[in-house]
Amino acid sequence: MSEDNFPSGKLANDGLPPLRDVIATHDLSAQKKFGQNFLFDLNLTGRIARAAAPLDDATVIEIGPGPGGLTRALLFNGAKNLTVIERDPRCQPVLAQISNHYPGALHVIDGDALEVDVTTLGPAPRKIVANLPYNVGTQLLLNWLMQIDQFASLTLMFQKEVAERVVAKPKSKAYGRLSVICQYLCDCDILFDVHRSAFTPPPKVTSAVVQLRPKADRGTQINLASLAKITQAAFGQRRKMLRASLKSLNINVGRLLESTGIVETARAEELSVEDFVLLTDCYSRLSASEDKQ
């Protein structure tokens, strides 16, 4: 059996109805506009939940619980303070049923995760665990990264292509803005792949579970907004040399690159994460000195 297929034998019995019955009873046919691809395999949802362990001492946050497969696994595996945010109102009765089954442990927010400041949902340590809707997954991740010190870990299911961008190394096709920002802030690992057949309906591509854990010491402290701006400029025109791609920063690019020791003819994908950190640090100093003049 391959790594991404799971036995469908005896599963953890949480006393709630099987997920397929829940979907049928509540008529929860998956809707594309909500990015819905549901997981029914409790072995798989259990595996994702356990990857984020321990859960009992943390504020656990799940985005997009849908019919509650992963939610139930998180609760079954010990989460005592779990908040879920779901945009599809059809899921609310099902989530209420789960909440009644685990009194006091599950809090449900009916809303858009892009508009919720998840750091207000409970004290640290905070862990986000989610099978993310593909249409807003990357944006949510970028939002959380901008305040990463608020979290103990992010355990997230993405399309494999996005997961590969998170962990990509320089000089690879997948290496880009997301790789640099994620790897500056966090230790990042792909934990396992999940075959498309595990979802209902199956998406077009393979998925993967990624875990990001904030680094205790990330060396040079830099301005994240500047890192985001520089990586956007550099990778926005990734085939161009830096002396051209960084022009949009409205700074003396020659001076900037000279102060870093990075050659003007280098391209974004050749730079290491450390190079981008140095570039950002020098950019902040140079901007400050140009502002003074």
Give the footprint of ligand SAM on this chain (CB under 6 A).
Answer: 34-39, 63-66, 69-70, 85-88, 112-114, 131, 133, 136
State the Cα angle at 151 between 147 and 152, rounded to 5°: 150
Q: Which two tokens stand for residue 232?
A: 């956007």
C-beta of 69 vs 176, nearer to ligand SAM: 69
C-beta of 51 vs 244, nearer to ligand SAM: 51
Rounded least distance, CB 229 to ligand SAM, Å: 25
For residue 130, which of 176, 194, 61 has the smallest C-alpha distance? 61
Rounded least distance, CB 92 to ligand SAM, Å: 11
C-beta of 133 vs 176, nearer to ligand SAM: 133
- Tell me if 13 sits within 8 A of 67, measured CB to CB: no
C-beta of 109 vs 241, nearer to ligand SAM: 109
What CA–CA distance (Å, rounded) separates 123 from 267?
A: 42
C-beta of 147 vs 250, nearer to ligand SAM: 147
C-beta of 36 vs 211, nearer to ligand SAM: 36
What CA–CA distance (Å, rounded) separates 229 from 177?
A: 10
Residue number of the CB closest to ligand SAM reads: 64
What CA–CA distance (Å, rounded) separates 128 from 186?
A: 14
Cα end-to-end distance, the chain, whole Å: 66
Rounded least distance, CB 160 to ligand SAM, Å: 14
Rounded least distance, CB 62 to ligand SAM, Å: 7
State the Cα angle at 107 between 104 and 108, rounded to 5°: 145
Rounded least distance, CB 65 to ligand SAM, Å: 5
What CA–CA distance (Å, rounded) separates 70 from 197?
A: 17
Query: Residue 107 pairs with which residues in a beta bridge?
Result: 83
What CA–CA distance (Å, rounded) separates 229 from 104?
A: 43
Residue whose tokens read 């640090």: 281
C-beta of 59 vs 131, nearer to ligand SAM: 131
Q: Which two tokens stand for residue 131?
A: 């099978």
Rounded least distance, CB 189 to ligand SAM, Å: 20
Bond preceding residue 54 cis, omega within 30 of 0: yes
Rounded least distance, CB 203 to ligand SAM, Å: 8
